[in-house]
Amino acid sequence: MPGETFTDYFHVVAERSEVRPEQIALGYLTEDGSALAAEEWTYGELIARSRSVAARLREEMAEGERAMLLYPPGLPFVAAFLGCLAAGVVAVPAPLPDGRDKAQDRLAGIVSDSGARVVLTESSIAPIVDGWARTLPSPVPTLVTDGLDLAVGAAFTPVAADAAAPAFLQYTSGSTSAPKGVVVTHGNLVDNEVEIGLALETDASMSMVSWLPQFHDMGLIGMLLHPLFQGGTGRFLSPITFVKRPVTWIRALSAYRATVSVAPNFAFDLVARRCSADDLAGLDLSTVRSILNGSEPVQWESIARFTALLAPRGLHEHAVMPVYGLAEATLFVTGTTPSSPAVRTVVDADELAANRIAPVPADSPHARVLVGSGHPRRLEVLVVDEDGVPAADGRVGEIWVRGGGVAAGYWNMPELSAATFDATPVGGTGGWLRTGDLGASVDGELFVTGRTKDVIIVNGRNLYAHDIEAAARAAAPALARGVGAAFAVGSPERLVLVHELRPEHLGDATLDDVTAAVRSAVFAEFSVPLTELVLVAKGVVARTTSGKIRRTHMRAAHEAGTIARLEQASQPEVAR
């Protein structure tokens, strides 16, 4: 509101520490045999460590300069992030370099694009991070933040950040050649935390337990920062711990009397598939009010299986809460109401393909279940057709968002930022974010139906179709002169690649050889299995008149079973 004094995120949390310095702020959970061990910091300890990082940063850096954060899962990352906020340094959280060339190239691209002057890390992995940072085209120094002198921080005066100043850059998943950094301001961060609090009805009594990557928008803003903003307590596991033993997440919810958690849709399937009644014996989930389901398409079957499995352990039948958000809106856009049933509707798939939401009986042919993603609290949400005209209720179009949580744009990309973050619908005013997501509004409920962008989500990972197609061609020379279409099908989603191949290009290889090489390369590069490789003749992969791959068309053809496949017998005989 005009005339109000802005209080930045760090000062909000610092005030919590002054009121209750001995309260547990954060805990990092690890497995210790059959039990969970916790490293915990109070609010007083967290702020003291953060101030020490801020003081050290300001010895060499000015306000507005950038620092990359490369940390394993754990509490030092949070202290470093808050330290950046307190110093007025723009944080650039990113995943650790993992040895894969493509991942390292992407990280190098982020360093270059952001202009990061330093890489922050912790002592346990400092030699690895420092070795990587020295190999960059323009080497960047590293700063180890755990073990800094807390006395130095005690004398440091944190920056009172302006609402419009960048707080951090959230680099979205995508091509290694062109990383895009979403500029989240201090005002965006605070506004979105308020929005989340209104949606979840959280307060200082909240107890968060989750396992999301800490550098990802949902893990950073929803899992780590939101409990601190509300004055509650957050505890988290490593994503690797969850993937290896999904029951660990559920046991932590019970052990720490969690009220809130958050996870992408694949996690609900993984728990239902790999956790038995015996694994869950003795657990009590009656305190859990909301488990946010977001970051990828929400599937009703996933919610139903997860809820049925955990209901005997006290989980509320409406605890799973579908939400919608994206990094360009800081995080949260819409969500259902805690402890209220998720809205679902059965629609005609053919009508949906024609951009219409048409409810039909559940046993109708070509029926598809859509799950509602709730409604915004203070943000504005608009569905717009391809001509920029606001769509009528029940019509599918691109989702546009406007409000205080919408980020300031992409770092160093003014033209793309203007086109994406300052759109104007026909007959309306500007300032709208074009999300690139498709959906429809029905009686105020947002239904997300797809994406205009060529993004594939499998097991919670955002994958770009052209990256998968390129990896396949690199792995199998026989594919080098053809084109492919990658997409996901089914629930849970499975990765499929349809690719052209001329038999005369096989050489001594067989179709089985090509399939094995491509599957191995895709798994090695993207850490997801390629469920099916469909090899086809030249010209089968559909393209537009301008040469763009029609991936949606190819997915529909695959689902209809109308794609003509190359057969092993069709390849020429090769002299042995």
| DSSP alpha helix (H) spans, 115-216 | 126-134, 150-154, 186-200
- Angle at Cα 555 formed by Cα 531 and Cα 446, nearest 5°? 105
Give the H/E segment covering residue 292: strand 290-293
Instruction: Say how far apart CA 249 and CA 271 lie, in whole Å.
Output: 9
Task: Yes or no: say if 554 and 561 are a contact pair by the CB < 8 Å rule.
Answer: no
Q: Which residues pair with 119 in a beta bridge?
A: 68, 142
- Which pair of structure tokens corresponds to residue 152? 């130095």
In a 3-state reduction of DSSP, which class is residue 419? helix
Within its chain, how far is the Cα of 409 from the centroid?
Answer: 18
Residue identified by tokens 């912790």 is 122
Residue type, 46: L
In a 3-state reduction of DSSP, which class is residue 315? coil
Task: Yes or no: say if 553 and 542 are a contact pair by the CB < 8 Å rule.
Answer: yes
Residues of the chain with CATH 3.30.300.30: 455-570
The predicted pLDDT at position 104 comes to 78
The predicted pLDDT at position 375 comes to 93
First and final CA of the chain: distance in angstroms? 79
Task: Yes or no: say if 330 and 194 are a contact pair by the CB < 8 Å rule.
Answer: no
Q: How far is CA 310 from CA 237, 278, 315, 319, 427, in A?
A: 20, 12, 6, 10, 49
Residues of the chain with CATH 3.40.50.12780: 9-22+42-186+212-232
Answer whether the bond into residue 492 is a cis peptide, omega within 30°.
yes
Q: Which residues pair with 485 in a beta bridge?
A: 498
In a 3-state reduction of DSSP, which class is residue 76? helix
Task: Yes or no: say if 332 and 405 are a contact pair by the CB < 8 Å rule.
Answer: yes
The predicted pLDDT at position 233 comes to 97
The predicted pLDDT at position 99 comes to 65
The predicted pLDDT at position 3 comes to 53
Sheet arrangement for strand 433-442: 380-384, 397-402, 433-442, 445-451
Instruction: Say how far apart CA 220 and CA 80 lie, in whole Å.
Output: 12
Instruction: Say how far apart CA 66 and CA 23 lie, in whole Å.
Output: 31
The predicted pLDDT at position 102 comes to 63
Instruction: Say how far apart CA 74 and CA 372 lie, in whole Å.
Output: 34
User: What does 320-389 look like in DSSP terms, one character per residue?
Assistant: EEEEEE-GGGSSEEEE--TTSPPPEEEEEHHHHHTTB--B--TTSTTEEEEEB--B-SSSEEEEE-TTSP
Q: What is the dihedral sign for C-alpha 38, 43, 49, 50?
A: positive
Q: What is the dihedral sign for C-alpha 379, 167, 178, 71?
A: negative
Give the H/E segment covering residue 457: strand 455-458
Task: Please enumerate in sequence order all residues whose Cβ is within 8 A of that of 548, keeping only pairs 6 or more positions apart, or say none.
Answer: none
- What beta strand segments (E) does 406-451 contain? 433-442, 445-451
Residue identified by tokens 């089914």 is 490
Residues of the chain with CATH 2.30.38.10: 344-401+417-451
- CA nearest to 78, candidates 40, 135, 129, 126: 40
Query: For 499-522, how does the pLDDT look when each residue is reduced to its tens digit (9 = 90+)?
Result: 999 898 898 889 989 999 999 888
Phi, psi of 438 (to 5 degrees): -105, 145
CATH architecture of structural domain 455-570: 2-Layer Sandwich (3.30)
- Which pair of structure tokens corresponds to residue 331? 């995080």
Task: Yes or no: say if 166 and 185 are a contact pair by the CB < 8 Å rule.
Answer: yes
Tens of each residue's pLDDT in the chain, 576 residues: 455 789 999 999 999 999 999 999 999 999 887 788 999 999 999 999 999 999 999 999 999 999 999 999 999 999 999 999 999 999 999 988 876 666 678 888 899 999 999 999 999 999 999 999 998 989 999 999 998 999 989 999 999 999 999 999 999 854 434 678 999 999 999 999 999 999 999 999 999 999 999 998 999 999 999 999 999 999 999 999 998 899 999 999 999 999 999 998 889 988 998 898 899 999 999 999 999 998 877 888 889 999 999 999 999 999 999 999 999 999 999 999 888 899 999 988 778 777 889 999 988 877 888 999 999 999 999 999 988 999 999 998 999 999 999 999 999 999 999 999 999 999 999 999 999 888 999 999 999 987 766 667 776 665 767 778 888 988 998 998 788 999 998 877 889 999 999 898 898 889 989 999 999 888 877 778 999 999 999 989 987 544 568 888 899 999 999 999 987 434 433 332
In a 3-state reduction of DSSP, which class is residue 437? strand
Instruction: Say how far apart CA 228 and CA 295 lie, in whole Å.
Output: 22
Count of residues making up the chain: 576
Per 3-state DSSP, the chain is made up of helix, strand and coil in percentages (nearest 5) of: 35, 25, 40
Q: What CATH superfamily classification does 344-401+417-451 receive?
A: Luciferase; Domain 3 (2.30.38.10)
Fold classification of 9-22+42-186+212-232 (topology level): Rossmann fold (3.40.50)
Task: Yes or no: say if 357 and 410 are a contact pair by the CB < 8 Å rule.
Answer: no
Task: Yes or no: say if 409 and 184 are a contact pair by the CB < 8 Å rule.
Answer: no
